[in-house]
Chains A and B, each alone.
Chain A
Amino acid sequence: MAAAAPLPQPDPSEMLVARARRGDQRAFEELYRLHHRRIYALALRMTRDPGRAEEMTQEAFVTAWGALPSFRGESAFGTWLHGLAVRVILRQVRSDRRWEERNEAAADLAGYLSEARRAMPETSLALERAIASLPDGARTVLVLHDVEGYKYEEIARLLGVALGTVKAQLHRARRLVMEALEA
């Protein structure tokens, strides 16, 4: 007799999402506990500022709570949440004048590396330093494509730029990172 095919393992988020959609705040907290590290890591690399990264992580989850009724389960919850978080973070970064000021402050890099060492002890600080030293646009594209695994088309859509711009930014970012690593 043929062995029965294993039953597909349910996504642990699915039941939580269903409950959260009905307004169950405890279920949403569980979803936060499952996914917040991913969002914080993204926000940290995008902003290079631990305080702003915390704020943006919170903003992403508050936005997700409000947007839950629009989540139709066409993708995994984590994927949906990540895309939403990218949009939230990009919007915040663009509108945050203080962030632009910090962007030019050399002292921020030390603060970022200190937080990266604490929050991601297994990371390569040389790579993190090289990424953090990139110009804003190049860093955003590199983080989304090479670290987070987004496709060119998805990044172009998220940033509202042409596909060629994304490819050019990525090429430039990689070259600058290589130079930084070889220096």
Chain B
Amino acid sequence: MSTNDDDLSTRLGSLPKEAEPARDLWPGIEARILDGRTVIPARRRASALLRLAAALLIFVSGLAVGHVWGRNAATSDSAARRHPLAAAEEVQRTGTEYVAAVAALREETRSEVRTQGREAAFSTLYGAAHELARQSPNDADASQLLNSASRARGRSIRF
């Protein structure tokens, strides 16, 4: 490399490496990031909360029925027997819906609705933990999860 080349390289290397765009580019990036996510638009928030409440109702009803019929579970035609992955897929699918409904609470501006949603969310979490602990009474993790969920539910519910 000649002296001229050295000089040119130095000059090129000292050119500014940062430039401020004329406008804020973040809103466009944010919109595209959100497009790629499972985001519940505002108009669907109310229905999401309703679905959460309905899911809770169905879950609690199912829990009660399960307690009555639990002893006969071994002879029932379970989802897992119909298809090896059906039960796991069902848990995952409904779990995803549950998480999406809870996530929608972030967008809710009415504090009362948010509080109700949190109560429902903790109750559902407690219900799931209860069921896991019931299925595996000796599982320490399940017991710990049930205790935590029970405390959280107790704190979240208004009397």
Q: Which residues of A contact B (CB under 8 A)?
A: 25, 28-29, 32-33, 36-38, 40-42, 44, 50, 53-54, 57-58, 61-62, 65-66, 115-116, 118-120, 122-124, 127-128, 131, 142, 146-149, 174, 177-178
A62 touching B29 by the CB < 8 A rule? Answer: yes
- Determine if A142 and B20 form an interchain contact, defined as CB atoms under 8 angstroms apart: no
- Do B15 and A123 touch (CB < 8 A)? yes
DSSP majority for the B interface?
A: helix
Shortest Cβ distance from residue B108 to the other chain A in the assembled complex, whole angstroms: 18
The residue of chain B having its C-beta at the shortest distance from the C-beta of A182 within the complex is B4
Contact yes or no, A58 B25, CB < 8 A: yes
In this complex, how many residues of chain B approach chain A with their Cβ under 8 Å: the count is 25
Nearest-Cβ distance from residue A127 to partner chain B, whole angstroms: 6
Chain B nearest Cβ from A167, distance in angstroms: 11
Q: Which residues of B contact A177 (CB under 8 A)?
A: 8, 12
> In the complex the two chains form, is B26's CB within 8 Å of A62's CB?
no
Q: Is B16 an interface residue (CB 8 A)?
A: yes
Best-buried of B13, B16, B34 by chain A (most CB within 10 Å): B16
A25 contacts B30, CB within 8 Å?
yes
B13 and A146 form a contact (CB under 8 A): yes
Contact of A119 among B8, B15, B21, B30 (CB under 8 A): B21
The 7 closest A-B pairs by CB, nearest first: A37-B18, A119-B19, A146-B12, A41-B19, A120-B16, A61-B29, A120-B19
- Chain B neighbourhood of A146, CB < 8 A: 8-9, 12-13
Given contacts A122-B16, A124-B15, 8 further A-B contacts (CB under 8 A): A38-B18, A40-B25, A41-B19, A50-B21, A50-B22, A54-B21, A120-B15, A149-B13
Q: Would you list 29 pairs from A and B whose C-beta atoms are within 8 A, ordered by A residue?
A: A25-B30, A25-B33, A32-B26, A32-B29, A36-B26, A40-B19, A41-B16, A41-B17, A54-B23, A57-B21, A58-B25, A58-B28, A61-B25, A62-B33, A65-B29, A65-B36, A119-B20, A119-B21, A120-B18, A124-B11, A124-B15, A128-B15, A146-B8, A146-B13, A147-B15, A147-B17, A174-B5, A177-B8, A178-B8
Between B8, B25, B29, the greatest number of chain A beta carbons within 10 A of the residue's beta carbon is seen for: B29
Interface flag for B32 (CB, 8 Å): yes
Residues of B within 8 A of A36 (CB): 21, 25-26
Q: Which residues of B contact A28 (CB under 8 A)?
A: 33
